[in-house]
A and B are shown apart, each in its own frame.
Chain A
Amino acid sequence: MGIPEERIERLFGLAREAVVDDEYDRAREYVRLARRIAERNRCGVPREFERKTCDDCDVYLRPGRTSRVRLGPGRVVVRCRECGATGRYPYA
């Protein structure tokens, strides 16, 4: 794992920590920086990162705090409580 991936991993943890501290905008900064690193280095972000961050407002999605999680037919529906954007991913 190279430095870009490690930086993304670190920022992901920090974003989570910021949401725990109720500093949502700080979490957004970290998520944005991680996404920027991913595109600069063409490495993408881990799947967990993709699923636990909001596509629209970049906040870290923490169930019960910044997100609402429901199960739909065949998929998990995650709605951002900050901006209302919805993400979905399948389950087996």
Chain B
Amino acid sequence: MISPETLVRHELVGLPVRVADADGDAHVGIAGRVLYETERTLVVRTGSGDKRVPKSGTTLEFAVVEEATARTDEAADDGQSSGSASQLGSDTAGVRPCQSGPSAAGVSNTDAASRRGECKDAVYVTVDGTRLRDRPAERTERGVTQWR
């Protein structure tokens, strides 16, 4: 489970994100789900295309969601899908009525929230993007690696 403490070492792909602040004005306000991660950038899928955001010099606001896959409806519609689909759908459905926490109001603009389709009560974590600067696969190791 992703917690605010483990976020910088955890998987960012699939998480809803909003660029709260950035060195370049063009990047501020970009909101959507993370598609890809590279060493120095994140690619975010927004309502108006995929945007590449640098990690350094940005303040990123992640919504920590239980299931990275934020789709119950599509999964249900999809009759053809493999066994994992129905399993996934029911899992997410179980998570759905998640406890209402103090959701940060005004954090997500409506358009972004509807795009994400996640529950509103997710925990929001704000991170300095520079802390995420590492290779995607190696970010987890931070200090305790089994390799020399």
Contacts and interface: CB of A to CB of B under 8 A. Distances in A.
Interface of A: 3-4, 6-7, 10-11, 13-14, 16-17, 20, 26, 29-30, 33, 36-37, 40-42, 48, 52, 62-65
Nearest to A32: B137
A66 to B, nearest CB: 10
Interface in B99-148: 136-138, 140-141, 145-147
Q: Is chain B's interface secondary structure helix, strand, loop, or mixed overall?
A: loop
A14 B70 CA distance: 10
Q: Which of B13, B85, B147 has the most CB of A within 10 A?
A: B13
A88 B106 CA distance: 51
Contacts of A41: 140-141, 146
Contacts of A4: 140
Nearest to A18: B35
B71 interface: yes
Contact of B82 (A6, A11, A36, A52): A52
Given A16-B85, A40-B137, A6 B69 contact: no
A62 B83 CA distance: 9
Contacts of B71: 17
A37 B137 contact: yes
Contacts of A42: 146
Nearest to B36: A29
Interface string B1-35: 11000100111011000000000000000000001
